[in-house]
């Protein structure tokens, strides 16, 4: 008979050059398959949900192999997610992260045409932390549902290596970044190159700074670990370190990959430029020109744009 799971109550043209310092810790991306923009590639929310299911299955499989109580594992996972939700809504952590992001963005900007503010950095961090808190609470609630728990246990007991993820982070971020750059209107028309370049430059600066902020051994590690510790008093120091590393790694990976895709030779940026040029040249009958419009647009504080990290 399969081990039964008890539920857990969750209580607790000419292209504009980007004038920023090049990221030092980004690994070169693999070539993006031509098919990645197909409908089968999930959005980031779905991708993260798939990843969470794979992580639950992996921990259940390890528990089964070690003869550990399944109920304990599911309870621990739920409580970790609740603790994460509390940690990223901690006012002190938000204030620290916002200050650090503002410093990182100012350090990345070498062109006086770009501006950024402390309020903008705070808004960015509030957006990111809010998404992650809602996500973590949702994961904890999933573990209160018998059907979900049964499905995860069945996957853990399966002879084959059952995986829920249907795409790689590279594929998902490529599609997301390309869609954001093209920013198609209701008729499917992509934005012109001047707007595309200004949009890209601002996103590049923001995600480059975020990648620095979320380094696993960076400045946010201590504050995040301390915030988690408040809500997980019985967790070993080693497990607390592992939770902190995992959370930061996911954020850094998404931000770093976005930065790569937005670079002057980035796969998403070069494809967006090609698609926008082709569309508007066909529409106008002449090759589009950006002149100096992109830089003028970029001067209007374009550095607050952020995608899902």
Compute the distance between CA of residue 298 and CA of residue 240 in angstroms, rounded to an integer: 41
Handedness of CA 292, 297, 300, 302 (dihedral sign): negative
Distance CA 167, CA 50 (A): 9
**Region 240-247 average pLDDT:** 97
Confidence of residue 58 (pLDDT cuts 50, 70, 90): very high
Round to whole Å and give the CA distance between 305 and 309. Answer: 12
231's tokens:
């809500």
Tell me if 5 sits within 8 A of 149, measured CB to CB.
yes
Which pLDDT score is estimated for 3?
A: 43
Ramachandran angles phi, psi of 90, nearest 5°? -70, 120
Note if the pTM is more than 0.85.
no
CA end-to-end distance (rounded Å), the chain = 41
Taking Cα atoms as reference points, which of 280, 73, 271, 43 lies closest to residue 166? 43
Over residues 60-85, the mean pLDDT reads: 96
Answer whether residue 152 shows pLDDT above 50: yes
């Amino acid at each position: 008979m399969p081990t039964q799971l008890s539920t857990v109550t969750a209580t607790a043209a000419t292209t504009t050059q980007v004038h920023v310092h090049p990221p030092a810790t980004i690994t070169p991306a693999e070539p993006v398959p031509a098919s990645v923009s197909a409908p089968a590639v999930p959005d980031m929310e779905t991708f993260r949900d798939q990843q969470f299911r794979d992580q639950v299955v992996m921990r259940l499989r390890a528990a089964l192999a070690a003869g550990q109580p399944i109920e304990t594992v599911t309870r621990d996972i739920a409580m970790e997610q609740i603790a994460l939700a509390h940690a990223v809504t901690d006012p002190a952590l938000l204030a620290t992260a916002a200050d650090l992001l503002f410093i990182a963005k100012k350090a990345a900007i070498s062109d006086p045409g770009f501006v950024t503010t402390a309020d903008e950095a705070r808004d960015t961090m509030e957006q990111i932390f809010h998404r992650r808190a809602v996500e973590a609470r949702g994961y904890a609630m999933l573990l209160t549902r018998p059907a979900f728990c049964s499905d995860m246990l069945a996957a853990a007991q399966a002879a084959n290596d059952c995986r829920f993820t249907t795409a790689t982070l590279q594929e998902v971020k490529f599609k997301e970044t390309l869609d954001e750059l093209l920013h198609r209107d209701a008729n499917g028309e992509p934005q012109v190159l001047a707007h595309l370049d200004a949009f890209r430059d601002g996103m590049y600066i923001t995600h480059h700074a975020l990648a620095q902020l979320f380094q696993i051994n960076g400045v946010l590690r201590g504050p995040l670990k301390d915030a988690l510790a408040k809500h997980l008093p019985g967790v070993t120091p080693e497990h607390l370190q592992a939770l902190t590393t995992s959370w930061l790694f996911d954020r850094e990976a998404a931000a770093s990959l976005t930065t790569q895709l937005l670079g002057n030779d980035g796969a998403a940026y070069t494809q967006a430029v090609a698609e926008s040029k082709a569309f508007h040249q066909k529409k106008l009958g002449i090759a589009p020109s950006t002149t100096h419009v992109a830089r003028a647009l970029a001067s209007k504080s374009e550095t607050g744009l952020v995608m899902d990290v």
